[in-house]
Structure 1
């Protein structure tokens, strides 16, 4: 069983990683090719392309200018400790023990606009390049065309190495579009998290993102090996609802808390 997550826009560059072990991204050579093109963009071009403020555009132009290989623990940081958004707050990797971290490294992959596909302990240097960015490059008009089948091929290889054929999709739609389901040698399961509000259940973005991280944490802490075991996921009040689910979409509901 393999989980996929989206990355985060916010990065924690300040705090050191709590572990010393690391790996290098499998698609780092592709990231180098992509960065050669991205770093040619001026701050103004980055602001227009990514629809960000001048301040954020300047920060990322500076990041692009100093981005370089080889990656070392001195100039890069393990991805699962670098990403700092809602998903990663739910996962809270710094508080996991070594056995759980080992589980993450084996069973979790992080999609990335720049790096393609990362293991949790893969070193990365700071960047911002969302998968949905319409960045025209040598391979096509956007990043989906740049990555083409490369991410899917690596997922298939990873699943084969695991001896498993189940992929748990905890990525956003923007990032999952980088995967080619028709070329995936796997059963695909997409958990959906809904919260009750005013008597109705709906997907609330902040809570749903956090729940994705919580589910990965649950799997790591319980050393989950079979997808069916995920139906017992109950962190922060979520409960699997069989009636609302189907074979490929598993729905977890959380009741509104009384005030």
Structure 2
């Protein structure tokens, strides 16, 4: 099974010192050219602070986050497992999981396309909705680059797609299952991320390897989640409290 995750806007700071970005050492080296195009474009854009804020859709108070994009090629890197700090990642707590349990995870990104938790990348600010001066719309850029690589990675595996809607257009897996989080019969937002983080953590720690949507639903029920199949490839997880 593959598990697809979105990134988070919140990111840990770069280490004070350490090795810089090495694209050839990231997972999926066939994406190096597509990654270089985006990084070069973002670095060049970031030499103009006001222009960078406008393109990235950031307020002046976030100028520091935009500015660090200018140093992407030289900034020290850290594992993706410790870089992302949003609600989903706080609940998932990737850094505390044994490395062997994380091999099924792919983290999608407007800057890198898709990376694995062990890939070492610098902090950045660039969401998938951005249109860069040279690259253009990042969704279209990655929609062209990712399928030849990820279709082979996915093969016939079941894919648990937990990406937010902005990132699902980057690549459409063939055998995907999605999850909604409900409370009182209504879809929740903030708690949605925390629940998905706990759900993934539970699956990884249990060593679950379901091959079908129904087997995935059964595995989640065994782990204590209240799950119903809305359609054969859409699961609803109901939480009792927020």
TM-score normalised by the chain length of structure 1: 0.79
Q: 2 CA distance for matches of 1:12 and 1:231?
A: 35
1:250 alignment partner in structure 2: 235
Q: Give unpaired runs (5+ residues) of structure 1.
A: 17-22
CA distance in 1, matches of 2:52, 2:223: 39
Cα deviation, residue 59, structure 1: 2.9
Question: 3-state SS of the aligned residue for 1:241?
Answer: strand
Partner of 1:65 in structure 2?
70
The C-alpha deviation readout for 1:92-122, integer Å capped at 9, x for no partner, is: 11222x2xx3121x21100000000001111
Tell me if the contact between 1:232 and 1:239 (Cα under 8 Å) persists in the aligned partners.
Answer: no
Q: Aligned match of 1:189 in 177, 196, 200?
A: 177
2: distance between equivalents of 1:172 and 1:130? 12
- Cα offset for 1:15? 7.7
Q: What is the number of equivalent residue pairs in this alignment? A: 227
Alignment of 1:127 with 2:124, yes or no, is yes
Structure 2: tracts of 5 or more residues without a match? 17-24
- For the structure 1 residues 211 and 15, does the alpha-carbon distance in structure 2 shift closer, same or farther, using more than 3 Å as the test? farther
Distance 1:54 1:236 in 2: 45
Residue 35 of structure 1 deviates from its aligned partner by 1.5
Using a 3 Å threshold, how does the CA distance of structure 1 residues 29 and 78 change in structure 2: closer, same or farther?
farther
Partner residue in 2 for 1:20: none
| TM-score for the superposition, normalised by structure 2 | 0.84
The aligned residue for residue 222 of structure 1 is: 206
* Residues 2-17 of structure 1 aligned to structure 2 (within 5 Å): 2-13=2-13
- Alignment CA distance shift 1:137-1:49 (3 Å): same
Secondary structure in 2 matching 1:189: strand
Corresponding residue to 1:47 among 42, 53, 62: 53
Query: Among residues 28, 35, 43, which one is paired with 1:31 in the alignment?
Result: 35
CA drift at 1:134: 2.8
Deviations 1:70-103 (A, max 9, x none): x9xxx2111021100011011011222x2xx312
